[in-house]
Amino acid sequence: MSRSVDIDFTFNGSIDPSTFVRALLECGLRASRDGEVAYLIDEDGMFDWEKAPSSQLDEILSRMKKGSSAGRTVGITLLFTGKHGGDFLIHPDRTSASFVIGINPKPLAGSQKFCDLGWYLTQLVPVFEPLGLSDIEARDSM
């Protein structure tokens, strides 16, 4: 039995991957983990993630933008201050994105099995509202 913790975001208009990621980086998230950036430009539906040196972030964002414009799912792994993080995905429709909380999910106070989705929303909603955020759906399922 696998666990899935994710938040889906819908926007009023098209999301530019570079703007989306840079907004997250400006609010304190980081892309580098052990000097590398993990990213996705899904060409074949297999979701094969790649890694590159963090010095190539601008090139990665450019490639993500081209992939997104071509109707591909693109993504990047980002970390919050501390040890929590996960994968941000921009879907082919370019009006929706998901955050898959997969790196040390922050536990809900007093719970032994649920993630503190409110903590993540508190961090992300102020970043996404200026980008046209219109809908949020959060799940923690086992």
The per-residue pLDDT for range 35-66, each reduced to its tens digit, is 999 999 999 989 999 999 999 999 999 999 99
- Contact 116/104 with Cβ under 8 angstroms? no
pTM: 0.95
Q: What is the pLDDT of residues 84-134, one digit of tens each?
A: 999 999 999 999 999 999 999 999 999 989 999 999 999 999 999 999 999
What is the side-by-side strand order in the sheet with 50-53?
50-53, 36-41, 74-79, 85-90, 96-103, 4-11, 133-141
> Residue 44: CB partners within 8 Å, gap ≥ 6?
none
